[in-house]
Structure 1
Amino acid sequence: MSIMLKVAAFAAFAAMPFSAIAATVTHVFNSTALAPLYGSQGTEWTTADGFLTISSTGGDIFIGANALGVARPGQAVQLYQQLNINETLRFSFAAPVTDVTFGRSAGTFPVNLTSYDETGDAVYSLSRSFPNSIPVNPAVNGPDNLPILSFLLQGVSGTGAGIASITYTTADIPPPAPVPLPAAGFLLLGGMGALYGMRRKKAASEEN
């Protein structure tokens, strides 16, 4: 009986789909996606896939031709993509992410950057004051690439650059595919039939 159970287990394993194995997927939200969204988005805005939410202080989130920033009330249109003193942008993800970087349009970018894990603890920070800028594509997760759930950009002084792209990596786990039961059944029956044939052959040889 134990041999039959082993055959059945092997048949089920052979028919098992392997599509549910997790894989890392890199996502890029860039100026191509931003361009059709020109205009004010209010103080909180979520991307179409629902995974990234951006919130602001100091004014509405404003998307220009190729970058995103904060629109202070009464601010000139050409300055909407800046991040000034008392203006912040918080980027929150629906699940922890790694390899987070953001690109910016040309210009100075003196800001405070702070990254937070899923418990809300700060795991990395970076700061530059005018006329210095943080790197064009900063490693938001820090040198250890710890998973983060959000990061905050806080204006230090007037800037001339907006957020032009965001790149991040997720652990993508696709839904399991349905188990092909007919195939598993055929394998199980075939194994049981082979086992039955072996037992009959053994019994016949013992009789002789």
Structure 2
Amino acid sequence: MDESFGRRLRDRLGKHGPLCVGLEPAPALPAAWGLDDSPAGLERFSRTVIDAVGDVAAVVEPHAACYERWGSRGVAVLERAVAGLRECGAPLVLDAGRGGAGGAMAAYAEAYLDRGSPLAADAVTLIPYPGFASLAGAITSAVADDAGVFVRPRTAAPARPARSRRARRARSAWCWTPGSPCWTPRSPPPRRPRPRGSPRGRPRAD
């Protein structure tokens, strides 16, 4: 790749607009199209969607779990879907939702970001619950391969963990610099002092 993922995404957004198409063939969806809930039905569904949107979507986002539920046969379908998206030029964000530390994250990065992998995506989704420092290996690989990562520290799911809810209230930030071995904490600017006697909270409009 000659350009970074950010530049490729920006150019695609400028050309096609902000349409992101999720490729999430849960069992009920192929069935609604009259397709079998099988690897063959999964492949036909994927091929149909890619042919329909590959030239017009800004991003296509396959959900890895929907393919992995079929084991090696499903992963083979995902590999062909990745190849099809590359042929049509659509940026590919693989929704893998992976999280791990040390060797596990390095293996995920090799599987989903290394240019030589049959599952190589333009970007991948990661979960930082083992700690933001655990993402360093994947981010280093992304920089080396002109790829990207989307980190999901929060979720909208009703059963989201308390850590996800606390992320909104956290005052510390994390930053990463290319060449650095890990993420490092960075203190935010100090809060401006509240004038004495001013009411707490936001004013209400009566």
Q: Give the TM-score, by structure 1 length.
A: 0.25
**Higher strand proportion:** 1
**Higher helix proportion:** 2
Larger Rg: 1
Q: Give the TM-score, by structure 2 length.
A: 0.25
Comparing both chains, which one has the higher relative contact order based on Cα–Cα distances under 8 Å and sequence gaps of 6 or more?
1
